[in-house]
Structure 1
């Protein structure tokens, strides 16, 4: 296969170079992949927080998930575990998308300081100095009615 470069030179690409190995990290219990490898790049699906207090069916009490900082901390712990299962660390994260909904306990406003407080425990520290590129955006709502934040990341295996 011949390709034309910007300088007008003819370059031949080998079929092996054009193919990227794709591996889906998934379970039958979920309708989406937890993560997908494309070559040395891992795309991790958006993660929501785990409950701080589990629901109690006997009393009818709903699960509690905490404020934005608590939810973000839970999500960073989940992301760390997912990455470790794949032989990566939070230091391998190169890009992060953060989706935030307004906190009803803060008059429907975003708690960006809460996100930042959790983020700074995991990124840009003495133990883990790498900081990914990041975008944070407000959304009207997230898939779970209790969710204040969802985070997805892209990590790259260094060679």
Structure 2
């Protein structure tokens, strides 16, 4: 953010933060958005906030009758994304946090071996069940990467997140 602030005058940043279509603040965290795509373009975290880094998580086995570490055991990209986000939600809950506290997300994706294509649409269908909803409008900054493979050969997706706990007042 230091570089961002050095390129844009403070008055302009203040104006952006005050414009509701471009910025949303909750718990001191300011999320800047652009357009209708359900990710933030920038997130400002207040001084004194605690940063929590969650390790990358893939989906747990969905079909225990399928061969271990197979695509059939874990499901398609949409199912795996949904299951991974459910795991992340559970880990955050143990820390007294929610998906609304997520400020950054990295999604590592492998092409489905059946289609030889990334299923970005399937990932987005699951992602938008958790982010940008009426119930949970907070959007993280996010990157999605195509990778050659993941540690588990049955995984099509692995997600890591960074969350923040707002400073105590």
**Stretches of structure 1 lacking an aligned partner (at least 5 in a row):** 1-38, 56-60
| 1:122 lines up with 2:130 in the alignment | yes
- CA deviation vs aligned residue, 1:72-121 (integer Å, no higher than 9, x gap): 00000000000000010000000000000000122x11000000000000
Partner of 1:154: 162
| 1:105 lines up with 2:135 in the alignment | no
Trace 1:10-25 onto structure 2 (pairs within 5 A): none
How many residues get paired?
A: 115
Aligned-residue Cα RMSD (Å) equals 1.1
Q: Separation in 2 of the partners of 1:94 and 1:102?
A: 26
Q: By how many angstroms is 1:149 displaced?
A: 0.3
Partner of 1:89: 98
Partner of 2:150: 142
Q: Which of 58, 62, 67 is equivalent to 1:62?
A: 67
Q: Separation in 2 of the partners of 1:156 and 1:105?
A: 38
Partner of 1:50: 60
Q: TM-score, normalised by structure 2?
A: 0.66
Return structure 1 stretches of 4+ with deviation > 3 angstroms. Answer: none
Based on CA coordinates, which of the two structures has the bigger radius of gyration?
A: 1
Partner of 2:50: 40
Q: Separation in 2 of the partners of 1:88 and 1:102?
A: 32
Q: By how many angstroms is 1:43 displaced?
A: 0.2
Q: By how many angstroms is 1:51 displaced?
A: 1.1
Q: Separation in 2 of the partners of 1:135 and 1:102?
A: 16
- CA deviation vs aligned residue, 1:47-88 (integer Å, no higher than 9, x gap): 010111114xxxxx4141100000000000000000000010
Q: Separation in 2 of the partners of 1:53 and 1:102?
A: 20
Q: SS where residue 104 of structure 1 aligns? A: coil
- Between 1 and 2, higher relative CO (CA 8 Å, sep ≥ 6) is seen in 2
Q: Separation in 2 of the partners of 1:136 and 1:158?
A: 26
